[in-house]
Structure 1
Amino acid sequence: MNEIASKNKLGFHVEIDIKGKGGHSSTPHKTRNPIIIGFEIINAINAKLAYQFDSFDEFTLVPTAFEAGTKENIIPEEAKIIYRGTFVKSSHSKILYDLISRTSEAISSLYDANALISFKNS
């Protein structure tokens, strides 16, 4: 990539906070596990990205962090996914916003959970 194109890149930061229902690992059927929901959101977003953008577009979006729980025998109530990306075309921002919002909300609602999405362009 040339130096001019890299100077024109826009940064993209997304945080997806998943609110489920925690509980003890011996009774997972009584929970809405945000870890499972988060994994499904990541898989769905990554799969949809492959069909949303041309492979020649100067674009990246990758999950860079997944935070959930601190105890090995407790299913947490919340999980957080962090995505980072860059793109050149400003129209990609709207596409990403729609794709991430719809996917996260649809999957979390399947599990009777909530997803709060926070976007930041840089």
Structure 2
Amino acid sequence: MSDASDFIRADVSPSGPGCADCEKIGSWWLHLRRCAFCGHIGCCDDSLHKHGTTHAHTSGHRVIQSFEPGEDWFWDFGTETAFDGPALAPPRSHPLTQTTPGPAERVPADWEEQLAGNA
């Protein structure tokens, strides 16, 4: 099996400030994850659509990093382990002005109930 470092390209910028797939469908997310190989931003497994994990499984890009302010942990889907990795190209998180969950204008009033029903 390949080493996690084979799935990290530190020079690749993130795809944008929010979940690329939720943006396409007009949805919202709880937390964000960044593909360490191609920069794709997807929503976390606690979000409705779990686009970060879906991207990892469909693309074969098995390493993600948190895209939340103040978090720099990595996760390797191949070994199911967390680890410390290199600094990736900026920006390293979504904008501090972006709400969590976000984006604010698309988050429904019953967002907590929706996520509880999605668990």
Asked if these proteins are the same fold (TM beyond 0.5), I'd say no
Q: Greater helix percent: which structure?
A: 1
Instruction: Please report the TM-score for the alignment, with normalisation by the length of structure 2.
Output: 0.26
Q: Greater strand percent: which structure?
A: 1
Instruction: Please report the TM-score for the alignment, with normalisation by the length of structure 1.
Output: 0.26
Higher relative contact order (CA 8 A, sep 6+): 1
